[in-house]
Structure 1
Amino acid sequence: MKRLLLPAVISALMIGEVHAASFTVSDIRVNGLQRISSGSVFAALPLDVGHNVDDKVLVETTRALFKTGYFQDIQLGRDGDVLVITVLERPSISSLDIEGNKAIKKEDLLKGLKQSGLAEGEIFQRATLEGVRNELQRQYVAQGRYSASIETEVVEQPRNRVAIKVKINEGSVASIQHINIVGNNVFSNEDLIDLFELKTKNWMSFIKNDDKYAREKLSGDLERLRSYYLDRGYINMDIISTQVSITPDKKNVYITVNIDEGERYRIRDIKLTGDLKVPEDEVRGLILTQPGQVFSRKVMTTTNDLITRRLGNEGYTFAHVNAIPEPHAEDNTVSLTYVVDPGKRAYVNRINFRGNTKTEDEVLRREMRQMEGGWASTYLIDQSKTRLERLGYFKNITVETPAVPGADDQVDVNFEVEEQPSGSITASIGFAQNAGMILGGAISQSNFLGTGNQVSMGLTRSEYQSSYNFSFLNPYWTDDGVSLGYNMFYRETNYDKLNYDVSSYSIDSYGAGVNLGYPISETSRLNFGASVQKDTLKTGKYTVEEIYDFMEKEGKSFTNYKVSAGWSQSTLNRGLMPTRGHSQSLSAEVSVPMSDLKFYRLDYFGQVFKPLSENYALRFHTELGYGDGYGSTNKMPFYEHYYAGGFGSVRGFKDSTLGPRSTAFRGRNGMNQDPDQDPLPFGGNVLIQGGVELIVPTPFVKDQQSLRTVVFWDVGNVFDTNCSKAQKDRGEVGCNIRANNLASSVGVGLTWVTALGPLSFSLGMPVKKPKNSETQVFQFSLGQTF
């Protein structure tokens, strides 16, 4: 006869008394299972066949089965010596539907629900659903969506299943109507509220959304407020309370912060204790706090960092410096004690690289200034990271120095890199009625096949023109960084293939060169080069007087041998789109006396990046050039002239249209062919250009490493110190080197690093437009960055 033992179990659970007779279990039978296997039940039972069962064991059995979460009802019975367990399984979730969510993605919601145990196929527990609903409500409140509501519906289905529907009404983010700080006497409300990321509604709110309340942002603002006081000597400043009031319609928020400023403290004295490991005078030279100064937590922690880094440069990677302030309330002063614990000197076990799927390990390893086996120097590790960034091959670089397991004096140095495009590719195909098919292409790669070598090649081929060029540079021709490069080119134009002339002149050229670079410091190097070039001039329909005069004096075919020397320096933090540091180069090139034309040129380029904040920086840049002839060549050849206008010069003006213009055209028969034709840009032997850029975050873009937005002001022009009388008579601005003859423009620019190379766009508006200059508001370029 079967006896129900559940009443005994319930009584034991409630009052802990024994009412059922004990017995020895000869068998266990489970009834009511549908989806749950009997094995899962037996695995959860705290008893087995042969065990003696009493009320206490039955209570433990019931608890163990309920603990699995599989069942919503459990009954224990006895059939002779057989323990009978009758269960009612919890329903399973057949479907889970969410609607109404926008601020939180559906994928993220489903992932969170699954982690909480709510997903298709899982066992349904109403308590879990209610907990998830409350958590979702809390998340929306944290976003400032106080009017958000979440409703859940459980629909029972056949075969002990349920469908769950979650309906979300996100509402709107509550706007901040007023922020008030109470208790401040030293600093004004305006100064303190300016520290807050949260703002009351303003004209920029629709872009920044800074008037939308969020609990996390308020916590950050309160920490900034506290730091502001601590950095100005108010070490006892306290935020007494914070009230966030919500209007009845839950759309507006009022924030009140109550503070106690306390008294202002100054530094009484400074002590230095501990095992310094480096000369004490060096450490004291790093202490920024001085007696008599107003106490500043920021200055104190910066001093900690400076001393820690100094010890890290000597291999004490695990050094710890702790500044202990001891306030004296009687005179509002603070005694500072810097306690130095250097720890053990750490040595580098291994240097590892990850993420360089294209670039060879050797290319990265040769930039290392920290060596394996040497002590771990913070300075050398930072230098190694900076040198990798200057290569321009990587978008992001992170470095970690984890301790080696089982060793207390060894670390590994792990560099994690994220590669980015390091070259550009262009291709063109076209057709002209008189020139036939025109094919062209060019590739420039600063990390060719991951070797770190720089390769550039290009070709253009049509019925009337052929152009080929190739250059190669090995930056590590020797292990100590001596570079070797060479280039060669060929360009030919044949106007006889055309039935009309198209230009003022053309040049058939071919030549080759070699250059050698030698490092003289971590950031500077010397460069030397030599080249030979053969040029042949050809006149066109619109050949101008200056060209005919030059050809009558010098001829039309020249072989020139050039030598060059230069110096360059770079402390930029990145090779592509840097944000701090500077770079500059100075070079001189001269044709040697055995050349047909004797001339020289001097060039300087410099740029400085000044960070203004984490997301903003200023860039100042300038480029200067001067060239002239010597000996029998009394001036610089016209086809070696400088030109200005366009990208890399003064944006907002057409490429190469600034500076002196030629005289009127003269045909091959010596007569003017088109007297109404405007003179052409002719360039000059003096280049002056520069400008300033404000680097700003690109709106609505998360990856700021691949995009750069700038607001620019460009100035510059080209001048000629050997202007002809006709040019001077026309009042050419390029014939007089004066500040008021410089062209200028303002505008915005965008650079995007793509797989084909950097794409640059600009919108420029001329501010100062010299005579005869040509403007161009929108410009773009492939392969050039700002």
Structure 2
Amino acid sequence: MKLLLNINKENEDLGKQASNSANILPFNTLLNYCLSILFLACSFITQAQNLAPDAKKYILGDITVKGQTSFSEQTIVAYSGLRKGEEIAIPGEQISDAIKKLWKSNLFNDIDIYVTNIEDNVAYLEIRLADLPQLNELKIKGVKKSKFDDIIKENKLDKGAKVTENLITTTKNYLTNKYKKDGFLNTKVYINTIEVKDSLPTSRVNMVINIDKGEKVKVKDINFSGNEVISDRQLRKSMKNTKQINPIRIFKRSKYIADDYKEDLESLIDKYKENGYRDARILSDSIIYNNDKTISININLEEGEKYTFGKIRFIGNTAYPDALLNRILRIKEGDTYNGVALSKRIADNSKPDANDITNLYQNSGYLFSTINAVETSADNNIIDMEIRITEGKPAYFNRVSVVGNDKTNDHVIYRELRTRPGELYSKANVVRTVRELGQLGFFDAQEIAPNFKNPNPVEGTIDMEYSVKETGSSQIELQGGYGGGGFIGTLGLSFNNFAIKDLFHKDAYKPIPMGDGQKLALRLQASRFFQTYSFSFSEPWLGGKRPVQFSTSISHTKQFLYNYLNRRPDKSKSFNITGITFGLAKRLSVPDDYFVLSQAIGFQRYDLNNYNTGLFTFGDGYSNNFSYTIGLSRNNTSVDPIYPTGGSNFSIKAKFSPPYSLFNKVDYAGLKDERSDEQAIINDVNTTNTQKQAASDRIAEIDQERYKWLEFYKVNFKADWYTQIVKDLVLRPSVEFGFLGAYNNDRGIIPFERFFVGGDGLGNFSLDGREVIQLRGYPNQSLSTQDGGTIYNKFSLELRYPITLKASAKIYGLGFIEGGNSFDNFRDFDPFNLKRSTGVGVRIFMPAFGLLGIDFGYGFDNVPGSTGANGWETHFIIGQQF
């Protein structure tokens, strides 16, 4: 009290001095006054702490530990920081600090320290505590099992974890906020712990987490205030993710997701910036909970005034003239101010290959360039701007490396790189490298990442590291379905990253030689009516120096004649086909290096053994098919070959045989006339059976001569486009066309190499050159005649959306509309006479099994020979057919 009185006395004297100075306190006096008060206050607090009336100093004697704990007494005393023989004040800071240290260890609870005895000047202490319980078992209720691992990992709820009040609270808050962000605004989380009673010294508890997510909250309405220039409807439309309830909307649900809503608020301001209102802002936004368990969103806006662009100057550009930069910027003086367009034309972060000024510089080596738009004047709502460019020093690649390839050999990857040490940096080449690595099919396309290392603006160098994650590149094909008159089973083995050079190296079998990027496939397909065996091999870089692909395939099939009486195969009547093909495909450099020129030579031998059908007039004999195929294709689809999100893929292919009729000196016109005469004998009702049989035998001889060496030409065209509409929603239109013709009309169109339209393609078992054109919503091959069509066209429109694109399984759903048809000759061809269908489907890609899927298609038109719409068909899809 004495100290406090002295302070008050000094204050009183200072106050009198101030009064005597005409109520004016000099600065020095005021400063000294404040410092004196601060010093005296600190001294008073310090003395009050150190001189507590009941504090007394002792020498610390023994320290004992009691309580349920698995730690030794020595360990606990060490944690506390107390030491026998040291001087302590009781009560005092040392005891408080010891309790704090034990709490901070996160090992104990119920911590107390007691004085058990005092002898002379020696104090004896006892620490009483209990171990924090360990987590024994964890049960999670209210969510799918697939979410358990994430919950355990994110909250550190592994068995043996110390269960503290903080752990329970943070886990509860984490789960509540997690599901609220996903739109479950009414999420409630309950956590209970139950002590495990057993003989073990360690305290353990079982934990039960019960998560009640409730229903996702729907947005009943979105209301705006303060907007006059842009209507409520336009503003709601600009909010891409948050939508109010609308029963006719299909692709966007009216669920409230916090992160999406935050993004949509930015989209509202962007909408104003696109229309010249650069000062627009959101004054407030609020969420109102309605009685029907929905919410209403109220957004209060301030629009501001409309602006236009004034003069735009480029500052600092030496590499490119103003004229070129203006062509890319595409903004003129007097245009309505559009802040969104301005930003994107300087640097469009949504498109890595966008036509913007930043990419112009980065594709020419200026990695370290910076480009900023600065407003220099806004008088009279006219914004003058300067585009300030710091070009920096051109950058060159120093080191280029790849990490993550455990199976694929380095040379397979490095030959696909478009960025090499010593070359000028180009962002376009980095993007192209990522695409090429994804197109290999050996890596998870979603996980390929270019990492910039050691950027050095002074020396103008950059190291590039591509990170990849390998996926299973070998596939097992197991297929079953009905087609060709019975059940068809397929077993195939595809090794898409094979290494034939290690074929005789025992150590390379893990389980097969891999890593050189070659493809090896073995396939067996069979039913009661046929057996097919095939082998194929391809080397994508023949010689290892240039992207020239060499491929070869060998195949053999044996078909048995169908007996319509007992519906069984007649194995005494067979049709054997043996074929071999060699091909080369070369990547071109012009018009660009997305183009590939392919060429192939093939030979097929058709042997008929008492195989009499409508397809041939001879049942015993053979035909030879020697052909040359040339094709031009261009594929610039984006990174993931399973789920492309951009680009296009088109191909045109011509296949033809030598024109034998020009040099084999066979009178095909005479054979045609003779055949007509023999057919007339067969059709004559007055002809005897013996004469008919003789005429039939002669027709077989004529056709054997016509088809001894097949003469034909065939043209195919196919094109696909991929457009990303919203996020990962992709639109895929496609068109197909095929035509089979003959050099010599007297010889006619061959019965092979024809088109069979309709179905899912599982009936494509024959190796006679036929092409099965899938058209969902109709039975297999039902839209062509028995012998197949010679011309077809098909149009398709498909909308795709991914469910997951993880490496273990890529899954996406789709909806489609398509139409197509086949025709027997060009005179009947009508590209608008289509068999139409629509439907939905799903695709699942697993590295071990390839692409699997199922489609449900509805055919709007009739199948030839029937009336009315065909209706619903179910199709099982194997491989990337559509």
TM bin, normalised by shorter chain, reads 0.7 to 0.9
Instruction: Look up the equivalent residue of 1:628 and give its one-letter code.
Output: G
Instruction: Look up the equivalent residue of 1:198 and give its one-letter code.
Output: T
8 Å CA contact 2:561, 2:573 repeated in 1: no
Give the CA deviation at 1:245: 2.9
Q: How does 1:35-50 map to 2 (within 5 A)?
A: 35=69, 36-43=71-78
Query: Would you tell me which structure has more helix in proportion to its own residues?
Result: 2
Q: 3-state SS of the aligned residue for 1:229? A: helix
TM-score of the superposition, structure 1-length normalised?
0.79
Instruction: Look up the equivalent residue of 2:857 and give its one-letter code.
Output: G
Give the CA deviation at 1:616: 2.2
RMSD: 4.4
Instruction: Look up the equivalent residue of 1:528 and give its one-letter code.
Output: Q
Instruction: Look up the equivalent residue of 2:465 and give its one-letter code.
Output: V
Matched, 1:73 2:112: yes
Q: How does 1:358-437 map to 2 (within 5 A)?
A: 358-395=407-444, 396-404=446-454, 409-419=461-471, 423-426=475-478
Give the CA deviation at 1:138: 5.9
Matched positions, count: 725
* In structure 1, distance between residues paired with 2:456 and 2:426: 21
| Aligned residue in 2 for 1:730 | none
- Are the structure 2 counterparts of residues 422 and 260 from structure 1 closer, same or farther at C-alpha, using a change threshold of 3 Å? farther
| Aligned residue in 2 for 1:291 | 333
- Are the structure 2 counterparts of residues 766 and 136 from structure 1 closer, same or farther at C-alpha, using a change threshold of 3 Å? closer
Equivalent residue for 1:716, pick from 820, 837, 843: 820
Structure 2: runs of 5 or more not aligned: 1-44, 348-355, 499-513, 661-707, 761-772
* In structure 1, distance between residues paired with 2:137 and 2:47: 39
Larger CA deviation: 517-526 vs 199-208 = 199-208
* In structure 2, distance between residues paired with 1:530 and 1:156: 76
| Aligned residue in 2 for 1:590 | 656
Instruction: Look up the equivalent residue of 2:279 and give its one-letter code.
Output: N
Q: How does 1:292-691 map to 2 (within 5 A)?
A: 292-305=334-347, 306-326=356-376, 328=378, 330-395=379-444, 396-404=446-454, 409-419=461-471, 423-426=475-478, 441-448=491-498, 449-459=514-524, 467-478=532-543, 479-493=545-559, 507-521=575-589, 522-538=593-609, 540=611, 543-544=613-614, 547-548=616-617, 551=618, 556-573=621-638, 574-593=640-659, 596-631=709-744, 634-647=747-760, 648-659=773-784, 661=785, 681-691=786-796
Give the CA deviation at 1:385: 1.1
Q: 3-state SS of the aligned residue for 2:616? A: helix
8 Å CA contact 1:458, 1:469 repeated in 2: yes
Q: Deviations over 1:395-420 (max 9, x none)?
A: 42422323238997322222323525
* In structure 2, distance between residues paired with 1:54 and 1:322: 65
Structure 1: runs of 5 or more not aligned: 1-10, 662-680, 723-734
Q: Deviations over 1:728-759 (max 9, x none)?
A: xxxxxxx6112454322222233222322222
Give the CA deviation at 1:784: 3.6
* In structure 2, distance between residues paired with 1:627 and 1:199: 52
- Are the structure 2 counterparts of residues 170 and 272 from structure 1 closer, same or farther at C-alpha, using a change threshold of 3 Å? same
* In structure 2, distance between residues paired with 1:568 and 1:221: 41
Instruction: Look up the equivalent residue of 1:271 and give its one-letter code.
Output: R
8 Å CA contact 2:538, 2:549 repeated in 1: yes
Q: Deviations over 1:675-712 (max 9, x none)?
A: xxxxxx111322222322222445x9988972233322
Q: How does 1:148-159 map to 2 (within 5 A)?
A: 148=188
| Aligned residue in 1 for 2:282 | 239
* In structure 2, distance between residues paired with 1:429 and 1:230: 57
8 Å CA contact 1:524, 1:570 repeated in 2: yes
Give the CA deviation at 1:265: 1.4
Matched, 1:752 2:848: no
8 Å CA contact 1:146, 1:250 repeated in 2: no
Give the CA deviation at 1:477: 0.6
Q: Deviations over 1:493-546 (max 9, x none)?
A: 5769999875999643323232222221211121222233332345545x33x7
Instruction: Look up the equivalent residue of 1:264 and give its one-letter code.
Output: K
* In structure 2, distance between residues paired with 1:92 and 1:347: 58
Give the CA deviation at 1:340: 2.2
Task: Name the % identity.
Answer: 22
Q: How does 1:35-184 map to 2 (within 5 A)?
A: 35=69, 36-43=71-78, 53=88, 58-69=92-103, 70=108, 72-75=111-114, 79-89=119-129, 92-93=132-133, 102=142, 114=156, 122=162, 124=164, 145-146=185-186, 148=188, 170=212, 172-173=214-215, 174-184=217-227
| Aligned residue in 2 for 1:189 | 232
8 Å CA contact 2:453, 2:465 repeated in 1: no
| Aligned residue in 2 for 1:200 | 244
| Aligned residue in 2 for 1:8 | none
8 Å CA contact 2:758, 2:778 repeated in 1: yes
Q: 3-state SS of the aligned residue for 2:800? A: strand
- Are the structure 2 counterparts of residues 348 and 55 from structure 1 closer, same or farther at C-alpha, using a change threshold of 3 Å? farther
Give the CA deviation at 1:390: 2.6
* In structure 1, distance between residues paired with 2:48 and 2:292: 46
TM-score of the superposition, structure 2-length normalised?
0.71
Instruction: Look up the equivalent residue of 1:333 and give its one-letter code.
Output: I
Larger CA deviation: 490-499 vs 739-748 = 490-499
8 Å CA contact 2:563, 2:569 repeated in 1: no
Give the CA deviation at 1:299: 1.4
* In structure 1, distance between residues paired with 2:66 and 2:329: 76
Larger CA deviation: 454-463 vs 154-163 = 154-163
* In structure 2, distance between residues paired with 1:531 and 1:79: 108
* In structure 2, distance between residues paired with 1:139 and 1:490: 58
Give the CA deviation at 1:290: 2.8
Give the CA deviation at 1:185: 0.8
| Aligned residue in 1 for 2:509 | none
Give the CA deviation at 1:635: 1.7
Give the CA deviation at 1:450: 4.0
Instruction: Look up the equivalent residue of 1:185 and give its one-letter code.
Output: E
Q: 3-state SS of the aligned residue for 1:638? A: coil
Instruction: Look up the equivalent residue of 2:93 and give its one-letter code.
Output: V
8 Å CA contact 2:790, 2:823 repeated in 1: yes
